[in-house]
Structure 1
Amino acid sequence: MKFAYRFSNLLGTVYRRGNLNFTCDGNSVISPVGNRVTVFDLKNNRSDTLPLATKYNIKCVGLSPDGRLAILVDEGGAALLVSLVCRSVLHQFHFKGSVHSISFSPDGRKFVVTKGNIAQMYHAPGKKREFNAFVLDKTYFGPYDETTCIDWTDDSKCFVVGSKDMSTWVFGAERWDNLIYYSLGGHKDAIVSCFFESNSLDLYSLSQDGALCVWQCDTHPEDLRLKAPTGWKADLLQREEEEEEEEEEESERETTIRGKATPAEQEKKGKVKYSRVAKHFFNEEGDFNNLTAAAFHKKTHLLVTGFASGIFHLHELPEFNLIHSLSISDQRVNSVAINSSGDWIAFGCSGLGQLLVWEWQSESYVLKQQGHFNSMVSLAYSPDGQYIVTGGDDGKVKVWNTLSGFCFITFTEHSSGVTGVTFTATGHVIVTSSMDGTVRAFDLHRYRNFRTFTSPRPTQFSCVAVDSSGEIVSAGAQDSFEIFVWSMQTGRLLDVLSGHEGPISGLCFNPMKSILASASWDKTVRLWDMFDSWRTKETLALTSDALAVTYRPDGAELAVATLNSQITFWDPENAVQTGSIEGRHDLKTGRKELDKITAKHSAKGKAFTTLCYSADGQNILAGGMSKFVCLYHVREQILVKRFELSCNFSLDAMEEFLNRRKMTEFGNLALIDQDAGEEDGVAIPLPGVKKGDMSSRHFKPEVRVTSLRFSPTGRCWAATSTEGLLVFSLDAQMLFDPFELDTSVTPGRIREALRQKEFTRAILMAFRLNERKLAQEALEAVPPGEIEVVSASLPELYVEKVLEFLASSFEVSRHLEFYLLWTQKLLMSHGQRLKSRAGQLLPVVQFLQKGLQRHLDDVAKLCDWNRYNIQYALAVSKQRGMKRTLEPLETEADAEASDEDSLHLLGRAEDGDDGGLL
């Protein structure tokens, strides 16, 4: 249970492709990210990724009207029926083809998928348990090209389907007598979206060339009548009616419902007819700009359209009045969604991996998130575990909040790929290295780049490290084989360490001493003493190229990953190897599409490229060119657990065996680019080329793990991979992890001890049972006056358990003062005895610090806000009091001037008190 880490969240990527959906309450956005789905809670400012995944990238998401169910369809046509309430998969289904769009009916009884040039209607899963959740009802034919979009009428009687053949088709969900299907033309390009009006059969259709057609129907939805059955169904129905007529007389209304209208009514009401009443154009100025996405809010008649240039328009229909126009990026808008109230609009841009939520009435962003454009290369946890900083090949440095999952600052000063990121010991400074030849330091208080370290000759830095004091910054060069050392205080270059004969692959400072370990491709690891004229203290000879190096948190051990898939452990004091782990068979790499060998033989050339010790130093994480991350026990040198980061077959190097069906007489099918020529008619006829216009070519990135870090709290660890930043954590609520349990410990005896006010015994039994609710009940039953006595009587073995429980309670509980009192008394009573196990207790203390720091930040903001308001009120009242004594009768102009003076006075008061702010 100690290593029961489970997938917790996906950061670093907010949108890839597919359609966006708002939940039924309008407060959350459901965004497909690769083969996973992330729910962004805009009200509580949190993001949460569902713990499920499809085999390929998700192409479309259908959300039920009540917001409880969702259907996720991937590129291969496989679908998952997901419960958003219990966050689990209820059913799996395969549509036997690529699905373009999916939509539930407003009553939630049916849903339609567009596949190829047909539309299929299925019975939606109900509340009762069914043998097959998806039952095909009807298949609709009509378009001769691919279908693109779906929309339903409010009463679920009809739906409309758009197609790439420039036609729009209206189909009846039932067998209506006066409407079976209806085809609408009038466009000169592929249909992008089509929408019904509220409680009407009138509809709008939009094409890719920026044309909007308004269609008016001469029939109301209530005038649709069911078609009379024929054949054996008619005979069976007639026999049933005759039997009913013998028993009682049948009313005319019921016969009309059965589908038998009188001849007079049939003559009066003919077939449904559509007529085009208007046609509007978005590109009136003549600039050709493809329309890529659209959404329509029926209650407010608001139409939102997104274009390939990144511009979006807001129009009011049917008058086509322009309300607003804005450019959100220079990339195409792939998806648009409007929430239920019509206030918020969500935009997804797959080219930038960008997700925006715009409040159009106040013209402000509710959410503006963007992931790394290219793959992430490195990550680092802050010392308190609240933040994660990532660096990517796009040159951006992003800082993520681990609690909310949002990025709150992006630094773009680097002009090339970022190769290394790290925090200083205080957690207020981020130091990064880049291929542009600079090492930069960023301040998290003022969010600026306050130091830039450079080398005398331009060089490419491959790694960076900062010592425990935060005063010495070092970076390794990839081309000159040197290590550069700077002073953080002055920014000056202190020394250049030479001696390696190959590129520097990793740097790491000893946490307890100022000793720098450098790993290189020259098959050595060198230890440099920063206090003794930067001389080489030791040289550790390896059997292969060194790829990564890291110190244990107490600095007493050094781990090195080499090119021959081994992890070697060294005693840095005596320069003696203490152990090694052979990881060749644990990597389990996959076979690439163009490889002609199996995954088993492909793994021979792979190795671990990143290492990280756990918070207590007993285990080590290792990752590399594989979808697996291995957790080893250092002392026993055995594999404890292997975590699979991805099951997405849209990535390369995921296959295990050679697929002969993909081999043709002309070569591998992967060399034939199916997507070439699809975008704007541009075709690149060079097979196998991975450079060029990535948006118009089919390119499969290779799965790999570039960086691993354990949280200082020990509760979670993070990995940067091809899919993004994945966080794995211990889910304590779902685990039963007993501690020294015997048959005498039961919930009944715990509550009995609480009734008898034997608090120490009750707490000990609760933590032996290790049930969170029982432990909370036992701790909160202790009166505040007796906390000191009870905490002093706890055995030392249980103090760590109680501190860990208190640390986790700070994140969710509102009893802040009560738990603070418990923490203070425990540390005061057992502080001296716990010093001997300081290394083991360090993760628990940092977990406590993380929760307390978050509360401190929240309370500090609230106190500052109250303080400014009080200063403003005092300044205004003082100014008015002075005016009243000098001039009893004030004119209106004087009153306005006094308000301006009070604002200047407030500014002076705030400036004068700046020094006292925390």
Structure 2
Amino acid sequence: MKFSYKFSNLLGAAYKKGNLLFTPDGNSIISPVSNKINIFDLRNNKTYTLPIESKYNYVSLALSKNGNILIAVNEEGECHTISLISQTIVNTYRFKGKVRCVRFSPDGKHVAFCKENNVFVFKAPGHFSGQYNTFVMERVYHTATDETTCLSWSSDSRLLAVGSKDMTIKIYAIDKFANFRIISLRNHTDSIVACFFEKDSYDIITISRNGQMCVWECNINPDDLVPWTEPPLKKKRISEEEKEDDIDDLTAIEKTESEIIEAVKAVSIENENTDATNSKDGNKIFYKKLNRHYLADEVRKDDREAILTCADYHTQMKFLVVGFSNGSFFIYEMPDVNLVHSLNISNQKITSVTFNGTGDWIGLGCSNLGQLLVWEWQSETYVMKQQGHANNTSCVSYSFDGEMLASGGEDGKVKLWNINSGLCFITFNEHANAVNAIRFSGNKKFVVSASLDGTVRAYDVIRYRNFRTFAGIRPVQFTSVAVDVSGEFVAAGAQDVFEIYLWSVKTGKLLEILTGHEGPVGSMDFSPLPMSNTLVSVSWDKTLRIWDAIEKGSAHETIELTSDGVCVVFNPNGQEVAVATLDGHVHVFEVKNGTQISTIEGRYDLGSGIADTDLISAKKSLEAKSFTSLCYSADGEYLLAGGQSKNVCIYNVKERLLVRKFEITQNRSLDAVDDFINRRKLTEFGNLALVEEREEREGGPIAIRLPGVRKGDMASRSQKPEVRLFSLQFSPTGQQWAAATTEGILVYSLNLGLVFDPWDLQMGITPSAVRKALKKKNFHEALIMSMKLNEQSLILEVIENIPLKDVELIVSSLSVQYVDKVLVIVAGALGNSNHLEFYLIWIQFILSVHGPNIKKQKNLPSILNVEKVLSRRYNDLSKICDHNKYTMQYIIRLGKCAENKSKQSMDVDKNDESDSDDDEIFEM
């Protein structure tokens, strides 16, 4: 099995904080999610995450005019220039302070940054400016007396408006102009949130935090700005007396008082002449306030504490959208400020709002809920609505074919995700408390979740409804759940009564209560074998118990463990189980005999991390950490393990060796990422990281858990969330695995094309030798050699050059060891290629010839991968066929209507001709 897994997508989190951006074509929206960046393709209904990662959360984004360069700034002021073509970080610049706003100029030549009370203007790299060195500074403005908050460029990119917390708006010019000086607009009573120039004009709209909007009119047009010209310096004429050599040095240096006065007068006369010429060319620029509007009055009828938090202006359509801290947003038509549309999307503050290029769609982001919306205001419909779990994602589970992923969160919601698109397509919110465990049934028809509210619920994946609710005879808190292979029985373990409950899915009745554990049930799992009803469970009483619940009830076999049992999982072969204990070890047992096969000591592989509030070292805290989640690979040879750290480990079960370790994040905005605390933050009074730097609270107080409380109870201070891994799950296809973490659901996929990993390679096997065999029409030899090289592009080249009449013969001549690899390659090509029928014929011959041998190998990942690809292509093609079907029906009906109209017109013409003939006869 290969382990070249790379981070591919981030699910469960659509937006964290920062500003949203639409691409220039308006079809995609760019969203910052913690220290990563998601791009949502609204036309194709897909999402993908850029393969970049910052050390801190991104808070400000800006996109270039052509959409190729993205500038992203994190919380610590580290600025990244990202190429969206190669999806890599091109350059990095450190501002050493918080950057609140970034904007590219409309002509693409400059980019401006707001940092503290300064504004930095750099030359933007690219062909617009002719500058390809990044971060070449051109201007710096220092005139603001408080922190700058917003930027706006004029349409000709010559003026820059800057709003700040000192309630003023400063207007600067990038170049020198004779009739322009720095202008300060003062009429607001609160900090400035946004300012916008009108199109092809210097008129400006300013909006403050308390909802006041001022409209300012400029007295000149963009064409009236006069470039600055330096006045010529006049040379002093030397008199004939001064030319003589007998001039005394003192008399040459000295100047009388009258001469100095005359020189000053001459300079003043020159300045008056230049001002007169400039006044002829253009007037001095100044602004006049036309009117003032109070946008928050309509919101404060219901909520008096509502605050304006964000705004955006579409200069072409002249529409203004503003968002408030109570979740409402309003669209106004300018310049008359007529209310066009209003909507309340939540009870939390709207952090960011933006128009797309055409002004039809509005992107809205709520940071407290992690919610991202794209709203089409004209038809009043959602283009996209995505929201992650409000709290941590506690558990994940793949469907049997690996096409869907189910997640449960501490907010009591169950979400279903499409792996191909990366979007959530249904949310169930029937639970009243945190969901701790979730499982898919073997037939992919329903998903089961266990919650602390005392219920286990089954959801129909096809009809999207909660069709069964299981409960015990008394209120209990369920922390684990398991479903048997047939999907007929559901078992759940409780943490407060030390019992396991068994229900029938068909009837919904409680069949059995399994007693015997003397501590909370940590985890359980059913055997994956079709005819087996074996159930294993581990508990905090340091035991592993094996149950045959269907036939023998509470009769069980007990195996003593070295420490408290945390997690248990079955091997796909059904013969072994792996148990994670509290001492950081993983024990492997044989189910039939109850004997221990091996032990993996993984505490030191788990990795350490020290939080800001920890009083002990990271090495000491490592002794209290353990694996909390286990999962076998699809072939059962490897074990995926993770727990209370940022590392995920893959072990070889037989060799008891660590094969690969993944670091899921390097985000230092989370706690317990570093192994050491920076000594510069340590003082005699404690850690400076614990000192809060609070900003203005918008939309409610900031929350933190109380000491010793892991979830639920909140105090009134702010903190960094601690990095943790809650659940791991391998895809049944073996191509990817998912991890539920503090940041969301991280999906790692296997990329076969980037790694050279030959298999049974020999001296004479080269790409040129493969192509020579193809020319000689030795197709079987070429296919075997290309598979030993294990290069996907070369294998596809060989397969597509094999004639269709020879496919069955070549497939039948393949040995069993090559069949699985051919299926994986063909399934991957089937998902992306246009040669659909060709690869379907290959799959048909492989299954018909090698079907009996494949059937003996249970849970073959390649077969599941083929099923996943076929179902996806079927869904895509069925949509196209249905669309074409109804389009053809519409065209046929239009043809019939046109034919009927032509017949009616012909009948009318005939009637007119007959009437004219009758008239002629009557006249005769």
Give the TM-score taking structure 1 as reference length.
Answer: 0.89
| 1:688–1:604 distance in 2 versus 1, CA, 3 Å | closer
CA shift for structure 1 position 676: 6.8
Q: Shift in Å at residue 802 of structure 1?
A: 1.1
Amino acid aligned to 1:365: Y
Mapped to 2, the partners of 1:75 and 1:620 lie a distance apart of 37
Query: Which residue matches 2:259?
Result: none
Partner of 2:265: none
Match of 2:369 among 352, 355, 359: 352
1:673 aligns with one of 692, 698, 721: 692
Tell me, in whole angstroms, the C-alpha distance in 1 between the residues paired with 2:287 and 2:893: 68
Indicate the percent of aligned positions where both proteins have the same amino acid.
47
Deviation at 1:124, TM superposition (A): 2.0
Partner of 2:277: 265
Q: Is the 8 A contact 2:458 2:466 kept in 1?
A: yes
Question: Is this contact kept in 1: 2:521–2:539, CA < 8 A?
Answer: yes
- Residue aligned with 1:283, SS: helix
Distance in 2, Cα, partners of 1:562 & 1:235 = 91
Residues 512-521 or 863-872, more deviating: 863-872
**Which amino acid counterpart does residue 20 of structure 2 have in structure 1?**
L
- 1:635 CA drift (Å): 0.7
Q: Which amino acid aligns with 1:213?
A: C
> Which of 594, 601, 624 is 1:575 aligned to?
594
Match 1:730 to one of 729, 732, 750? 750
Deviation at 1:693, TM superposition (A): 10
Shift of 1:866: 7.1
Match 2:613 to one of 572, 583, 594: 594
CA distance in structure 2 between the aligned counterparts of 1:431 and 1:695, rounded to whole angstroms? 33
Max Rg structure: 2
Asked whether 1:701 is paired with 2:721, we answer yes
Instruction: Give 1:536 shift.
Output: 3.2
- Kept after mapping to 2: 8 A contact 1:508/1:516: yes
Query: Is the CA contact 1:486–1:493 (under 8 Å) kept in the aligned structure 2?
Result: yes
- Note the C-alpha offset of 1:854: 1.4
Classify the secondary structure of the residue corresponding to 1:32: strand
| Structure 2 match to 1:124 | 124
Partner in structure 1 of residue 253 of structure 2: none
Question: CA deviation digits over 1:124-178, x for unaligned, max 9?
Answer: 2236998962122221122211111111112211111111111111111123332
- The answer for the alignment partner of 2:258 in structure 1 is none
How many residues are aligned here? 856
- Pairing 1:395-414 to 2, within 5 Å after superposition: 395-414=412-431
Shift of 1:211: 1.5
Residue 680 of structure 1, CA deviation: 7.5
User: Per the alignment, in what secondary structure is the counterpart of residue 753 of structure 2?
Assistant: helix
Over 3 Å counting, the alpha-carbon distance change for 1:157 and 1:428 in structure 2 is same
Determine if the alignment matches structure 1 residue 552 to structure 2 residue 571.
yes
Q: Counterpart of 2:580?
A: 561
CA shift for structure 1 position 794: 2.5
AA partner of residue 464 (structure 1): V
Shift of 1:34: 0.5
Q: Kindly indicate whether the alpha-carbon contact (under 8 Å) linking 1:598 and 1:658 is maintained by their aligned counterparts in 2.
A: no
Deviation at 1:736, TM superposition (A): 2.4
Q: CA deviation at 1:629?
A: 0.4
CA deviations 1:197-219 (Å, max 9, x no partner) are 11211111111111111111112
Instruction: Classify 1:429/1:129 alpha carbon distance in 2 versus 1 (closer, same or farther; 3 Å).
Output: farther
The superposition leaves residues 574-624 of structure 1 with CA deviations (integer Å, 9 ceiling, x where unpaired) of 111111111111111210101122222221111100000001111101100
SS of match in other structure, 1:714: coil
Residue 274 (str. 1) matches residue 287 (str. 2): yes
SS at match of 2:297: coil
Tell me the TM-score normalized by structure 2: 0.88
Worse-superposed segment, 456-465 or 819-828: 819-828
Kindly provide the CA deviation profile for residues 846-899 of structure 1, in whole angstroms up to 9, marking residues without a partner as x: 0011001112333445566677899999999999xxxxxxxxx9xxxxxxxxxx
1:642-684 deviations in whole A, cap 9, x for unaligned?
A: 1001111111111211333333444333443222764489699
Per-residue CA deviation, residues 73-124 of structure 1 (Å, 9 max, x unaligned), is 1111111111111111111111010111111112222211101111111122
| Aligned counterpart for 2:845 among listed residues 815, 820, 825 | 825
Aligned counterpart, 1:190: 191
In structure 2, the residue matched to 1:179 is 180
CA distance in 2, matches of 1:684, 1:645: 26
- 1:36-61 superposed Cα distances (whole Å, 9 cap, x missing partner): 00000111111000111111111111
1:85/1:874 CA distance change after superposition, 3 Å? closer
Q: CA deviation at 1:301?
A: 1.1
Amino acid of the residue matched to residue 727 of structure 1?
V
1:364, distance to aligned residue in structure 2 (A):
1.2
- Kept in 1, the 8 Å contact 2:460–2:467? The answer is yes
2:334 alignment partner in structure 1: 317
Q: 2:866 aligns with which of 848, 867, 870?
A: 848
Paired with 2:215 and 2:714, the residues of 1 have a C-alpha distance of 37
> Is contact 1:648–1:654 with CA below 8 Å preserved after alignment?
yes
Q: For the Cα contact (< 8 Å) 1:676–1:684, is it kept in 2? A: no
1:526 to partner: Cα distance? 0.4
Superposed CA deviations along residues 288-312 of structure 1, whole A, max 9, x for unmatched, are 4311111111111111111111111
Alignment of 1:818-897 (within 5 A): 818-836=838-856, 838-839=857-858, 842-861=860-879
> CA contact under 8 A between 1:207 and 1:291: conserved in structure 2?
yes
| Equivalent residue runs for 1:159-308 within 5 Å | 159-228=160-229, 264-268=276-280, 269-285=282-298, 287=301, 288=304, 289-308=306-325
Whole-angstrom distance in 1 between the partners of 2:470 and 2:314: 53
Deviation larger for 761-770 or 195-204: 761-770
Q: Distance in 1 between matches of 2:891 and 2:223?
A: 62
CA RMSD of aligned residues (A): 2.9
Q: Cα offset for 1:818?
A: 1.1
Pick which of 565-574 and 769-778 moved more: 769-778
Match of 1:28 in 2: 28
Q: How does 1:612-651 map onto structure 2 within 5 Å? A: 612-651=631-670
Change (3 A) 1:473 1:75: same
- More moved, 657-666 vs 62-71: 657-666
Cα distance in 2 for residues equivalent to 1:438 and 1:750: 60
Equivalent residue number for residue 506 of structure 1 = 523
Aligned 8 A contact 1:334 1:350 in 2: yes
After superposition, what is the alpha-carbon deviation per residue over 1:760-799, rounded to whole angstroms, capped at 9, x for unaligned? 2222232223332222222122222221122112233322
Contact 2:706 2:715 survives alignment (8 Å):
no
Deviates more, 1:651-660 or 1:444-453: 651-660
Query: Does 2:100 correspond to 1:100?
Result: yes
- The equivalent of 1:87 in structure 2 is 87
Check whether the contact 2:296–2:307 (CA below 8 A) recurs between aligned residues: no
Q: Deviation at 1:686?
A: 12
CA distance in 2, matches of 1:449, 1:100: 45
Q: For 1:146 and 1:743, how far apart are their aligned partners in 2?
A: 68
Secondary structure of the 1:178 match is coil
Please tell me whether the aligned partners of residues 629 and 644 of structure 1 are also in contact (alpha carbons under 8 angstroms). Answer: yes
Alignment match, 1:914: none
Shift of 1:179: 2.3
Is the CA contact 1:155–1:199 (under 8 Å) kept in the aligned structure 2?
yes
CA distance in 2, matches of 1:148, 1:442: 47
SS at match of 2:449: strand
Looking at structure 2, the residues matched to 101 and 25 of structure 1 have their Cα atoms a distance apart, in angstroms, of: 23
Which of 372, 386, 395 in structure 1 is aligned with 2:389?
372
Question: 479, 491, 514: which is aligned to 2:508?
Answer: 491
Name the counterpart of 2:247: none
Counterpart of 1:915 in structure 2 is none
CA gap 1:680/1:608 in 2 versus in 1, 3 angstroms? closer
Confirm or deny that 1:712 pairs with 2:732. Answer: yes
Identify unmatched segments of 5+ residues in structure 1: 237-258, 880-888, 890-918
Do the aligned partners of 1:228 and 1:260 also contact (CA within 8 Å) in 2?
A: no
Q: Distance in 1 between matches of 2:220 and 2:61?
A: 32
| Correspondence for 1:253 | none
Supply the distance in 1 between the matched residues of 2:231 and 2:620 (Cα, whole angstroms).
65
Cα distance 1:765–1:385, how it changes in 2: closer, same or farther (>3 A)? Answer: same
In 1: Cα distance, 2:121 partner to 2:334 partner: 29
Partner residue of 2:2? 2
Q: Which amino acid aligns with 2:645?
A: S
Q: Distance in 1 between matches of 2:78 and 2:769?
A: 51
In 1, distance between residues paired with 2:273 and 2:647? 67
CA deviation after TM superposition for structure 1 residue 186, in Å: 1.2
Deviation of residue 185 (structure 1)?
1.2
- 1:171–1:621 CA distance, 2 compared to 1 (3 A): same
Deviations 1:720-766 (A, max 9, x none): 00000000011123222223334433333333333333222222232
